[in-house]
Structure 1
Amino acid sequence: MSIENWTFNKQNESKKHKATIPGTVHTDLFQNQLIPDPFFGNNEKQLQWIENENWEYETHFALSKSELKNQNIDLEFEGLDTYATVFLNGKVVLEADNMFRKWIISAKSHLKIGTNHLKVVFHSAVQKGKEEAKKLSYTLPEKERVFVRKAQYQFGWDWGPRFVTAGIWKKVQLKFWNSAKIENIKYSQIELNDKKAVLEFTTEIYVSKVKTIQLKINEKTEVFNLKKGKNKIKMQYEIANPKLWWCNGLGDANLYPFTVEINQKKQFLDSKKLNIGLRTIELIQEKDQAGKSFYFKLNGKSVFMKGANVVPPDSFLPRVSDTTYFSLVENAKKANMNMLRVWGGGVYFDDAFYEACDAKGILVWQDFMFACSMYPGDEEFVENVKQEVIDNVNRLQNHPSIAIWCGNNENDEGWHNWGWQKQFNYSKADSTQIWNDYKKVFHEMIPNTLDSLLPKEKNIYWSSSPSIGWGRKESLTQGDSHYWGVWWGKEPFEIYEKKVGRFMSEYGFQGMPNLETLQKIMHNEDLNFTSEAFKNHQKHPTGYETINEYMERDYVVPKDFEDYLYVSQLLQARGMKIAIEAHRRAKPYCMGTLFWQLNDCWPVTSWSSLDYYGNWKAFHYQVKRSFENLLISVADENEKFKVYLINDNFESSSGKLELELLSFDGKLLWKTLKEFTVQENASTAFYEILKEDFKSFNLQQTFLKVKFNEFQSQYFFVKPKDLKLSKPNIQVKTIDELTIEISSDVLAKDVFLSSENQVFFEDNYFDLLPNEKRIIKLSKAAKEIKVKSLFDTMK
Structure 2
Amino acid sequence: MLESEYCEVCVGKMAMSRFELKSGWTFKKGTRNSEAEYLPANDLPTEIHLDLLKNKKIADPFKDLNELSVRWIGDEAWTYQTTFTTPPDYGKPGITTALKFGGLDTFAHVFLNGETLFDSENMFIEHVVDVTDKLATDNGGEQVLEIMFESARQKGLELVKEHKEHRFIVHQTEISRGPVRKAQYDWGWDWGPILMTAGPWKPIVLETFESKIVDVWVEYDVDDDLKQAEGKVFVEYEGLGKLEADISKDGQSLEKLDEFKSTNKSNVMSADFELPDASLWWPRGYGSQPLYTISVSLRSVPTSTKPETVIDTVDKTIGFRKVELIQEDDSHGTSFYFRVNNVDIFCGGSCWIPPDSFLTRTKPSSYRAWIRQAAEGNQTMVRVWGGGIYEDDSLFEAADEFGVVIWQDFAFACANYPANRPYLASVETEARQNVRRLRNHPSLIVWAGNNEDYQIVERYGLEYNYATDKDPESWLKTNFPARYIYEYLLPKVIREETKGVPYHPSSPFGNGISTTLKVDPTVGDIHQWNVWHGTMEPYQRLPRMAGRFVSEFGMEAYPHVTTLAKSITNPDDRYPGSMAMDFRNKAIGHERRLVSYVAENFRIRYDLEGFTHLTQVMQADALTWAYKSWRRDWKQSGNRKVGGVLVWQLNDCWPTMSWAVVDYYGVPKPAYYAIKRTLEPLVVGVQRKVNDWTVRLADELWQRDTSHIDMRKVWEDVQFDVWVASNMRESINGNITIKFISVRTGTEVVDPLERAVRIEPNGTTEVFESEKVDVPNAQDPDTPFDTSKADPFVIYTTLTIHDKQVASDISWPEPIKYLDFPDRGVQVEYSEDKRKIFVSAKKPVKGFVFAEDEGLKLSDNGFDLVPGERTEVHVQGNTAGNLTWRYVGGL
TM-score with structure 1 setting the length: 0.94
Q: Which residue matches 1:351?
A: 393
Q: Say yes or no: does 1:62 pair with 2:85.
A: yes
- Structure 1 segment 382-531 matched on structure 2, within 5 A: 382-417=424-459, 433-455=477-499, 457-467=500-510, 468-470=513-515, 475-489=520-534, 490-522=536-568, 523-531=570-578
Q: Say yes or no: does 1:727 pair with 2:823.
A: yes
Q: Say yes or no: does 1:123 pair with 2:150.
A: yes
Q: Deviations over 1:612-659 (max 9, x none)?
A: 000000110101011112222223348731111112222122111111
The structure 1 residue matched to 2:162, chosen from 128, 135, 141, is 135
Amino acid of the residue matched to residue 40 of structure 1? K
Q: Say yes or no: does 1:659 pair with 2:678.
A: no
Q: Which residue matches 1:241?
A: 277
Mapped contact 1:8–1:55 kept (Cα < 8 A): yes
Q: Which residue matches 1:562?
A: 609
Shift of 1:103: 0.8
Are residues 535 and 559 of structure 1, via their aligned partners in 2, closer, same or farther at CA, if it must alter by over 3 Å?
closer
Amino acid of the residue matched to residue 734 of structure 1? Y
Shift of 1:544: 1.9
The structure 2 residue matched to 1:702, chosen from 770, 793, 799, is 793
Mapped contact 2:455–2:516 kept (Cα < 8 A): no
CA distance in 2, matches of 1:582, 1:756: 31
Q: Which residue matches 1:26?
A: 49
Q: Secondary structure at the match of 1:100?
A: coil
- Structure 1 segment 597-612 matched on structure 2, within 5 A: 597-612=649-664
Q: Say yes or no: does 1:106 pair with 2:125.
A: no
CA distance in 2, matches of 1:284, 1:65: 55
Q: Which residue matches 1:424?
A: none
Q: Deviations over 1:760-789 (max 9, x none)?
A: 221111112224333221012325221211
Shift of 1:435: 4.1
Mapped contact 2:213–2:235 kept (Cα < 8 A): no
Are residues 352 and 227 of structure 1, via their aligned partners in 2, closer, same or farther at CA, if it must alter by over 3 Å?
closer
Shift of 1:110: 1.2
Amino acid of the residue matched to residue 735 of structure 2? K
CA distance in 1, matches of 2:606, 2:312: 66
Q: How many residues align?
A: 781
Shift of 1:201: 1.1
Mapped contact 2:560–2:852 kept (Cα < 8 A): no
Q: Say yes or no: does 1:753 pair with 2:850.
A: yes
CA distance in 2, matches of 1:409, 1:755: 33
Shift of 1:704: 1.2
Are residues 8 and 685 of structure 1, via their aligned partners in 2, closer, same or farther at CA, if it must alter by over 3 Å?
same
Which sections of structure 2, spanning at least 5 residues, go unmatched?
A: 1-18, 248-254, 302-307, 464-473, 635-639, 691-717, 779-788, 801-805
CA distance in 1, matches of 2:63, 2:503: 42
Q: Say yes or no: does 1:714 pair with 2:810.
A: yes
Q: Which residue matches 1:5?
A: 24
Q: Deviations over 1:557-600 (max 9, x none)?
A: 01322110111011111111111122112222111111110000
Q: Deviations over 1:72-105 (max 9, x none)?
A: 1110110100010000111111101110111111
Are residues 180 and 324 of structure 1, via their aligned partners in 2, closer, same or farther at CA, if it must alter by over 3 Å?
closer
Q: Say yes or no: does 1:338 pair with 2:380.
A: yes
Q: Which residue matches 1:427?
A: none
Amino acid of the residue matched to residue 719 of structure 1? P
Q: Say yes or no: does 1:175 pair with 2:199.
A: no
CA distance in 1, matches of 2:655, 2:871: 32
Are residues 459 and 198 of structure 1, via their aligned partners in 2, closer, same or farther at CA, if it must alter by over 3 Å?
same
Q: Which residue matches 1:15?
A: 37
Q: Which moved more, 1:657-666 or 1:94-103?
A: 657-666
Are residues 637 and 685 of structure 1, via their aligned partners in 2, closer, same or farther at CA, if it must alter by over 3 Å?
farther
CA distance in 2, matches of 1:125, 1:234: 41
- Structure 1 segment 66-85 matched on structure 2, within 5 A: 66-69=89-92, 71-85=95-109
Q: Secondary structure at the match of 1:684?
A: strand
Q: Over the residues paired in the alignment, what is the CA RMSD in angstroms?
A: 2.3
Shift of 1:532: 2.5
- Structure 1 segment 87-102 matched on structure 2, within 5 A: 87-102=111-126
- Structure 1 segment 264-303 matched on structure 2, within 5 A: 264-265=300-301, 266-303=308-345
Q: Deviations over 1:240-282 (max 9, x none)?
A: 3211111011110111122111212331121211111111010
CA distance in 2, matches of 1:308, 1:418: 29
CA distance in 1, matches of 2:289, 2:282: 5
- Structure 1 segment 493-642 matched on structure 2, within 5 A: 493-522=539-568, 523-587=570-634, 588-637=640-689, 640-642=719-721
Q: Which moved more, 1:268-277 or 1:782-791?
A: 782-791
Q: Which residue matches 1:250?
A: 286
Amino acid of the residue matched to residue 785 of structure 1? L
Which sections of structure 1, spanning at least 5 residues, go unmatched?
A: 422-429
Percent of pairs identical after alignment?
A: 31
CA distance in 2, matches of 1:44, 1:474: 36
CA distance in 1, matches of 2:503, 2:462: 30
CA distance in 2, matches of 1:775, 1:496: 30
CA distance in 2, matches of 1:625, 1:758: 22
Q: Which moved more, 1:766-775 or 1:282-291?
A: 766-775
Mapped contact 2:530–2:537 kept (Cα < 8 A): yes
Amino acid of the residue matched to residue 611 of structure 1? D
The structure 1 residue matched to 2:242, chosen from 196, 213, 218, is 213
Amino acid of the residue matched to residue 666 of structure 1? G
TM-score with structure 2 setting the length: 0.84
Are residues 184 and 781 of structure 1, via their aligned partners in 2, closer, same or farther at CA, if it must alter by over 3 Å?
closer
Shift of 1:308: 0.7
Amino acid of the residue matched to residue 25 of structure 2? W
CA distance in 2, matches of 1:445, 1:779: 49
CA distance in 2, matches of 1:64, 1:627: 55
The structure 2 residue matched to 1:683, chosen from 764, 771, 774, is 764
